[in-house]
Structure 1
Amino acid sequence: MADKILEIKDMKKHFNLGGGQVLKAVDNFSIDIYRGETFGLVGESGCGKSTTGRTIIRLYEPTSGQVIFNGEDVSKLQGKKLKEFNRKMQMVFQDPYASLNPRMTVGNIIAEGIDIHGLCKGEERKKRVNDLLKAVGLNEEHASRFPHEFSGGQRQRIGIARALAIEPEFIIADEPISALDVSVQAQVVNLFKKLQKERGLTYLFIAHDLAMVKHISDRIGVMYLGNLVEVTTAEELYANPLHPYTKSLLSAIPIPDPEVERTRERIILEGDVPSPLDPPSGCPFRTRCPNVMPECALSMPPMKEAAPGHFVSCHLHK
């Protein structure tokens, strides 16, 4: 059995907006992530993917549930233990324009974590920054420049170097390619794969581009309105999707064969995504589901193993 690096048990993140309104951004989220794998998390915008990542790393405090990293409950960590956790888990943010301090040089941006954790100084610090720049495909002379002097793809490489600076074990990549040109996206994904192989990293890779997620992920979780609805390997998800929502997402991916593209079935969902302020009773997907049944309104379907390693939350699969 592979070694679990992260266990998430019934994690919730609700935001109290006042006036009795509660936004249920993440609801009953449970997953295990194994050391050395890439777990892809996909879903439409607003489904709670980024909030999930930020809650795991404690940028947000969970409303309830547990996040267990290397056998320790993250919510209970304080002082030295919390600082050690912050070193072992890092985040690469979605927007490479907003996530870098425009007043700091690239060298100081990358070395900020090194300085906070007191890992090295002087020439050793400079050498580590230069090595990190090379590792992400940049040059030593880039260390003295400022973020505005770089393209979007280069800025994201700087963000990756910053995350790697304190030698983490686990990286949460929060839609790290969505703000980049299509021509650059594949380069950055391939960089993630190369660094994982070299450094033995584990990734939670958050995205809404299913085609790109398949390219990088070992397993994929599909999220809808704050809930996980399907989890399995990347190959199995594409070959045999079980949840109606997953099927609709996959049917929207373009196929580079005009004949196949012209004749294949498209699943068009009716209506808009419900508000997380007032989610539907029972299954959150029932208001848009082409296979809706009366029991879907009565209870949330539990996550069940429909096939070995293939989990789905749907009343169609009992």
Structure 2
Amino acid sequence: MPLRYSRLLFLLALLFGSTRLAFAQTQAAVPSQQAPASSAVVDIPKVLAEARSLKNSYRESEALAKYEQVLSKAPGNYEALWSAAVLSVRIGARYTDETRKAAYYAAARLYANRALVVDPEGGEANYATAFTMANQATLFGTRQYLIAYREMKPYVFRAVARRPDWADAWQLLGRWHYRVDHYNFFERIFSRLFLGGKPSGAGSRKAIDALRRAHELDPKRIQFCYDLARVYRNQGQYTNARTILQEALRITPATSEELETSRRSRILLQQLRRRALRKHQLISDEIPPEIKRMQQADTVSLKRN
């Protein structure tokens, strides 16, 4: 082979080898550049504190994102699990589209189940489970709805037992008592025939006690006032209902949901006041004319004296 061809082949081989070496070095360098991003250290206590602050500021979607960030690094973090469940329910409840609601509720149920695995007796995990079940039930047919209220009983009772200082747990217990105690005729028959009867232990008196306790623990939550007032009204305790609604209207709403609850509280209070006026008018109409004249004369005499 001529010498010049031998040199040419040698140069080509050298060039090819250099190219492969450079490519290999480049590929080896890429992971070392990306490694810090994939193994970035998350300051979990700091992120949890940020999540709590966002939640307390009613920035719930941002708070949920923070809790999910924690779970991406610490899948068994108890606070992040139950908090993500509760926030997922609250966010999902705002949607009118049932598909989106169901998606958020399903995610919440997964978070709550994982929280129960971490701490089966934890008040927060049990509350998150019961809270999720109560909201999921609104999307179910009658059978699944009634089953949900039967199955959530131990969770909501355990939540109150483990966290008696938590107003939200008492509110949920009060709602459970009242709803089960007021099953309609069809729900009672269905429960008796197919579910062995409705859940035991529910009562309207217990609902009032639980909702009153929630209000005592957190008197600035307008939803607690409204829930308690409605139960008072439905139980015929109209004076108590008016009193608690007047308290509700002194609370400044902080969210659109609270603003709507304030509007409903005002409407309900107006209805109860009209009812009281009608009752007073009926009583007045039943008083004989001569008694009315005597009362008026006594009033005039008192004013003169």
* Common fold: TM-score over 0.5: no
* TM value normalised by structure 1: 0.28
- Structure 1 or 2, whichever has the larger Rg, is 2
Higher relative contact order (CA 8 A, sep 6+): 1
> Would you tell me which structure has more helix in proportion to its own residues?
2
